[in-house]
Amino acid sequence: MNAIHIRGATKVFNPGKSSQVEALADIDLAVEPGEFITLIGPSGCGKSTLLRLISSLALPTTGSVEVNGKPAEQARLDRDYGMAFQTSGLFDWRTVAKNIELPLELMGWSKADRRRRSSEMLELVKLGDFAKHHPSELSGGMQQRVAIARALAFSPSILLMDEPFGALDEMTREHMQDELLRIWRDTGTTLVFVTHSIPEAVYLSTRVVVMSPRPGRIAAVIDVGLGDRQASTRDDPAFFSKVTEVRAALREVEG
């Protein structure tokens, strides 16, 4: 069973009005459990919209989106996925631990279970010493790690990430990429990740999905095949070859 299966999905905003926008057209995509898929394409090509269809935060105009073998809306109700965005979205009046516990609190977990789980998640993202700190006391990269911990706190099988490292400096961004790969390997979570960075897409992914300008279509799906990533991967000729392949695909769709 696919973790995500999209068939013939389109998305039209404001249909029939003068402001009508066709954001996505004829999207077909299957994602296997445990894959790391990156969506890349020109600004406005519908990457974030596609993520919203998967998460059932928006509904397709035509076509279907299934998550774990059921309609995306049911998967959302079943809490099959977590989400992380470009900004961490943490609440500064809550401690780091309490931020991680928030979705568990809303789901009715007991106080003891929430504390245990937040402690586990802080260890996973290597922030065990910061449970009682507040977000404003953390760096941007640390805040994003807390956001990832919160998104994974209730053990979703799928994590959706919309440019989560876009606002970070280059060195912090590379560190966060390595941390995310470690978490992905440790949890076995299926990941769908939106980025504008070609090197980031290649470094992180099992497959890179290249999208065309609006209306967004899938123009190419590139298997990365670099094996386990580590710092030396960024200097590997095979890495540069894949970066060149993705860049060529993007140039072709942009004309």
Tell me the pLDDT tens digit for each residue of 38-73. Answer: 999 998 899 999 999 999 999 999 999 999 999 999
Question: Which among 169, 185, 175 has a CA at the least distance from the CA of 228?
Answer: 185
In this structure, how many other beta carbons lie within 10 angstroms of the beta carbon of residue 71? 14
Encode pLDDT of 1-34 as tens digits.
Answer: 899 999 999 999 988 888 889 999 999 999 999 9
- 159 in Cβ contact with 191 (< 8 Å): yes
Scan for tokens 């905003």, then name that residue: 13
pLDDT for 18 equals 86
Q: Please, which pLDDT band fits residue 174 given cuts at 50, 70 and 90?
A: confident
State how far the Cα of 54 lies from the Cα of 216, in Å rounded to an integer: 15
Q: Say if residues 130 and 157 touch (Cβ distance below 8 Å).
A: no
E strand map for the chain = 4-13, 21-31, 36-40, 62-67, 70-71, 81-84, 158-162, 190-194, 207-211, 218-223
* Polymer length of the chain: 255
pLDDT by residue (tens digit) across 193-235? Answer: 999 999 999 999 999 999 999 899 999 999 998 888 888 899 9
Angle at alpha carbon of residue 219, lines to 84 and 185, rounded to 5°? 40
- What type of residue is 44? G
Angle between helical axes of 96-106 and 111-124 (0-180°, round to 10): 130
Instruction: Label residue 141 by pLDDT band (50, 70, 90).
Output: confident
Query: All domains of the chain, ordered by start, with CATH?
Result: 4-80+157-254 (3.40.50.300), 88-155 (no CATH)
Backbone torsions φ then ψ of 44, nearest 5 degrees:
85, 10
When pLDDT is cut at 50, 70 and 90, the band that residue 85 belongs to is: confident
CA distances (Å), origin 250, targets 54, 123, 199, 218: 23, 38, 13, 11
pLDDT in tens, 94-138: 999 999 999 999 999 999 999 999 999 898 888 999 999 999 999
- Closest C-alpha to 60, from 129, 3, 13: 13
User: What is the per-residue pLDDT for 255?
Assistant: 65
